[in-house]
Structure 1
Amino acid sequence: MRLGITMFATDRTMPPHELAAAAEERGFASLYLPEHTHIPAARTTPPPTGDDTLPEEYARTLDPLVALAAAAVVTRTITLGTGVLLAAQRDPVVTAKAVATLDRISGGRVVLGVGYGWNREEAADHGVDWTTRRARVREHVLAMRELWTKDEAAFKGEYAAFEPSWSWPKPEGRIPVLLGGAPGPTLFAHVAEYGDGWMPIGGAGVREALPALRAACEAAGRPMARVVPFGTVPTPGKLEYYAGLGVEEVVLRVPGGGRDAVLPVLDRYAAEHAGR
């Protein structure tokens, strides 16, 4: 089983390029970074953490693609992923260029974790009608696929459209897309149509959801999607449980802090779970 890590990287945490190098040195297979462009001060959407007040780290999040580019140049093998990129809030043409550039710089090591978002105010500032966010994510990912794979790409949708166009660089290979979110028919239909895997946040309920995900993939005539539990706090029993379900990668959560807070956790995870 591959073990990756994720951290809420901010301007007050261990720099992400140093984190990536430290993780690679300790044998971790992947690093995933989250995204929030901003947090509107007028808060109406409840925090997803269940806290009364949204933790400050949400407002201090680094841009994941810029941060991962810095990580790319100081590492050689570790997979570099977003966990998760808010695709509905991004221009797909610009984002396709940025992701392809990152993939070329890193030597083909990019994985795009994509989410639908939870913060209505943030999405509204990007002109996103909340009821359309899933449809927007779908079109934006499909439009990026066209730009990544076609020498002359075109796309016509309700939320993304461009005439036949040239756009290089192309990624070194296929960019895997992992869709984050709670299990359900809509999410699994999207995974089966245009994703490569499901990224369950926290990893709860995976066993119960697998039959529905498998059925959605079979209905789409494609192989079973990857399942990558995300933001997990590891225990030997939990990792053995995932391995028994056929899970091949788990992304472990590390605290959003400085070197003194982060490195001991990396050392402990590596010592306790190496060789899985």
Structure 2
Amino acid sequence: MRIATTIFLTDETITPVRIARELEERGFAGLYLPEHTHIPVERISPYPAGGELPPQYGRILDPFIALGQAAAVTETLGLGTGITLVAQHDPIDLAKQAATLDHLSGGRLTLGIGYGWNREEAEDHGVEWSSRRALVRERVALMRALWAEEPTAYQGAFGSVRASYAYPKPVRGGAPRILVGGAPGPKLFAHIAEYADGWMPVGGGGFSESLPQLRQAWDAAGRDPGDLTIVPYAVAPNPGKLAHYEELGIDEIVVLLPSADEVTVLKALDEYTPYL
């Protein structure tokens, strides 16, 4: 079982360089960073976890720049986004950012992607809320065209790209590992089976019902069962939970660290280290 971490890195927390070095030295598998470009003050969208939105949501560092710093001071630490709000990006720019980070890190990138929950944030990016899933699906297809070994054109309802020279390429060929976040359901599972490598569910509960549904969608799409990756995200670990995940064939989890100063974060790492 590989144990990675996620944290809301901000202008007030431990730095990307410091936490990356600590994680690699201790033997953690990776560092996943969330994304929000901004949080509009006038907000209608409820916080998914309930209650007031924590202040760190409006202070998050750009994940690709922060992960670039982490890559520069580590050799083996996995680097991931959890999640990238693909609908809020120009896909040509995002394809270049992801491929560059993957190339410079020696193929260590996992591109965790999702559809978002903050309607006001997305609308400021020009995203039509009702079509964001279809938009993300197309933008992944456009990025795959740019990552292809030979110049490949893509034409979709939301955008297009000419056959182009676009380097660097993702190290593993075709694309970095892509995991889709989101609540379980037929539409999500169909999209995962169509264009991703697996699922990144927040919390990691309810698998007895959801995993058979995902595997059924995966099989229906003609995918190899051995290629499906499931990475529970923002997990609070305990021995029983890890044993249960192992029985389900899950070999990587992401534990949540506090969005805090260096002393507090290192103390949390001390508490998680025995699970390694």
| 3-state SS of 2:153 partner | strand
Return the alpha-carbon distance in structure 2 between the equivalents of residues 74 and 160 of structure 1.
37
Tell me the equivalent position of 2:190: 189
Contact between 1:200 and 1:206, CA under 8 Å: does it hold in 2? no
Q: Can you list the C-alpha shifts for 1:64-94, whole angstroms capped at 9, x where unaligned?
A: 0110000000000011000000001111100
TM-score, normalisation: structure 2: 0.97
Q: Describe the SS at the equivalent of 2:103.
A: helix
**Structure 1, residues 104-131: CA drift from partner, whole Å, max 9, x if none?**
1101100000010000000000000000
Mapped partners of 2:152, 2:220: distance in 1? 28
Q: Using the TM superposition, give the Cα deviation of residue 55 of structure 1 relative to its aligned residue in structure 2, in angstroms.
A: 1.0
Partners in 2 of 1:194 and 1:146 — Cα distance? 12
Give the 5 Å matches for 1:212-227. 212-224=213-225, 225-227=228-230
1:1-276 counterparts in 2 under 5 A?
1-51=1-51, 53-173=52-172, 174-224=175-225, 225-271=228-274, 273-274=275-276
Contact 1:207 1:245 (8 Å CA) reproduced: no
Task: Please list the CA deviations of residues 169-226 of structure 1 after superposition, one character each: whole Å capped at 9, or x if unmatched.
Answer: 1111140100001110000001100000100011111221111111101100002321
Q: CA deviation at 1:150?
A: 3.3
Return the alpha-carbon distance in structure 2 between the equivalents of residues 31 and 135 of structure 1.
Answer: 28
Q: Distance between the aligned counterparts of 1:223 and 1:32, measured in 2? A: 26
1:204-250 alpha-carbon deviations (Å, 9 max, x no partner): 11221111111101100002321100000111111111111110100
8 Å CA contact 1:26–1:267 kept in 2: the answer is no
How many residues were matched structurally? 272
Quote the sequence identity (%).
53
* 2:237 partner SS: coil
Letter in 2 for 1:25: E
| Counterpart secondary structure, 1:270 | helix
One-letter code of the match for 1:96?
A: A
* Secondary structure of the corresponding residue to residue 234 of structure 2: strand
1:15 Cα deviation after fit: 0.7
The one-letter code matched in structure 2 to 1:60 is: R
In the alignment, the residues of structure 1 paired with residue 158 and residue 35 of structure 2 have an alpha-carbon distance, to the nearest angstrom, of 21
- State how far apart, in whole Å, the 1-side matches of 2:181 and 2:39 are: 20
| Runs of 5+ unmatched residues, structure 2 | none
Report the alpha carbon displacement of residue 160 of structure 1 after superposing the two structures with TM.
2.3
**SS in structure 1 of the partner of residue 146 of structure 2:** helix
AA at the equivalent of 2:141: L
Shift of 1:162: 1.2
Shift of 1:252: 0.5
How far apart, in 2, do the equivalents of 1:27 and 1:255 lie? 19
Q: In the aligned structure 2, how far is the partner of 1:59 from the partner of 1:153?
A: 38
Show structure 1 runs of 5+ residues with no match: none
Letter in 2 for 1:219: A
* Counterparts of 2:243 and 2:119, CA distance in 1: 37
CA distance in 1, matches of 2:43, 2:272: 36
201-210 or 226-235, larger mean C-alpha shift: 201-210
Whether contact under 8 Å (1:151, 1:167) holds in the other structure is no
Q: CA RMSD in A?
A: 0.9
Q: Give the TM-score normalised by the residue count of structure 1.
A: 0.97
